Chain A
Amino acid sequence: MSPEIRFTFDGLSMTAGEDQSIAAALIENGILSWRTTRFGDRPRGLFCGIGVCFDCLVTVNGEPNVRACISAVEPADDVRTQVGDGHVE
């Protein structure tokens, strides 16, 4: 898959293949965790990989709770680590 799409993760510039999932793009860029849990502040990343578990939630362009495993990267996406439920306190 040729890197064609540019996006950022927590401000860092990264590339992804066309139609690649956000989770796959992050893992290929060496990022294994992109969420911290609401109670234990535990790091989470890809788990079920097919949209069932909601563990891979990430904030995209200000919108929290996007499942990284079944959502494709789009050009210039601003992807950010989701802290807790993703809503700024």
Chain B
Amino acid sequence: MAMSSRSPDATDVTVLGAGAAGVAAAVVAARSGCRVVVIDNGSVPGGQYFRGAATVTSSSVNSQPADLSYAALRIEFDRLVASGAIDYRARWTAYAASINDAEFVIRLRGDDRHRSEIDAVTSTALIVATGAFDRQLPFPGWDLPGVMSGGGAQSLAKGDDVVPGRRVVVAGTGPFLLAVSSTLLDHGASVPAIVEANHPARLMTQTSGLRGGLGKTGELVGYARQLARHRVPYLRRHRVIEAIGAGFLEAVRIARVDRDWRVVEGSERTVECDALAVGFGFVAQTDLAGQLGAAMTLGADGGLVIDVDADLATSVAGLFAAGETTGVGGVEAARVEGLLAGASVADYLGRPPALTSRGLRVVRRDIAMWQGFADALHTTFPVREGWREQVRDDTLVCRCEEVSAGQVREAIDDLGARDTRAVKLFTRAGMGWCQGRVCGSAVDSLCGFGTTQSLGGAATRPLAVPVPLGALANDQMEG
């Protein structure tokens, strides 16, 4: 591909994110001879899933190119970084993405302790592998210290070997609740209850036809055994309806719910605990692709994801996406999508393929298989409308701007807000530090929208993270 006005310091490919997808994509692209820059805000590769797995032992890994396990890819990634083939920028955050003369320009900011440090990377192609974060649904008391996301509890335990409390209730929906509980038990906490809003009895039968999904099902069976050994009650069709405490969490109120998550009256009871880890699936980090004008679509879980074709190309030439950003599917799906994105980007740049055609066929087959598995999970663990009934008018919805559900309802019912943008302007919900990442799904659901346009509007962020004005001014001058 001829690039007449190519910047002298431009690289071939920039990969945003060094989780399973980003690591896999970078390795495959580098194998094809692409010069790769990887940007990640963590201090070690691995993203959320492999957090704390700072050192990978090579003993159990077959380091042949045919071995495409994460462990093998990670070893190769480290080698490629050491040899200079991959320029790995840890602790940098991409805050803005743009296209200039057919090249991608990614603007970077240092971490929070070095946030005035800025830089930029220019490349011919770009892979967005920025992952996802927990989806939250507000309930009374959810801003009490001690209430945290499942992913937060997981990263605290995995990354820092600290548990958020002695007794941690795990709640929300999805198989991730089992993974979080398992990690917490491993790190010495007790789990008084897992509070699952859905009823996943049919999961095994739905997924038994999926060959590779059996590996994942095996993982779930492992969790189930561990939870049984620790006598952790797995309360299906139950929800946490209130977090209680004076200044910090002391107990949760839980209740039985019907199929639509409406509370069964009289079933409420109190469970004492020191922490609550809660999450209702995940929301993809799409904002940098959105800044570049990439088309979005709705994933199987109803959340906003980047629209990609069978090669993981987006609607923008040279822009590819992999992992949770194309549909929440878990770490194995992310890894194989990363492999394909790396191969697609090399093809786009006219480089020789790094994977054999047979290898690529296997990757495509695995992607289809994991997609099927993810679809089955989303069918089993949907968010049901009844969650909104536990939201009182004084329940906080936007944690940043401290906006209540009553204010959001008023914007819709009395002020005539008909999209999330209008709700945001009337109430400030979504206008704070997190830019609607935490409350976006909930506000959209309270409004009853659920469209690409509505979710996309809420997920439009000119700056992915706040940048000091002085740093921005310098950035513009350096152009």
Contact = CB atoms under 8 A, between A and B. Distances in A.
B402 A39 contact: yes
B151 A48 contact: yes
A52 interface: yes
A43 B145 contact: yes
Given A21-B160, A65-B112, A53 B146 contact: no
B410 interface: no
A62 B432 CA distance: 22
B145 A54 contact: no
Contacts of A67: 112
A49 B48 CA distance: 10
Given A48-B438, A67-B112, A23 B149 contact: no
Nearest to A51: B41
Instruction: Name the interface size band of chain A.
Output: 35 or more
Contacts of B41: 51, 70
Interface in B34-58: 41-43, 48
Interface in A1-30: 1, 17, 19-21, 23-24, 27-28
Nearest to A47: B148
A60 B399 contact: no
Interface in B161-185: 161-162, 164
B438 A53 contact: yes
Nearest to B51: A50
A34 B67 CA distance: 46
Interface in B76-119: 111-113
Given A33-B247, A48-B148, A52-B133, A42 B402 contact: yes
A72 B156 CA distance: 12
- Of the listed residues A43, A47, A67, A71, the one surrounded by the most CB atoms of chain B closer than 10 A to its CB is A47
A38 B43 CA distance: 31
A3 to B, nearest CB: 12
Interface string B388-406: 0000000000011110000
Nearest to B131: A50
B33 to A, nearest CB: 33
Interface string A38-79: 111011111111111111010010010111011110100000
Contact of B437 (A20, A23, A32, A53): A53
A66 B113 contact: yes
Nearest to B160: A24
Contacts of B247: 33, 43
Contact of B399 (A23, A28, A55): A55
Contact of B43 (A32, A47, A49, A72): A72
A50 B155 contact: yes
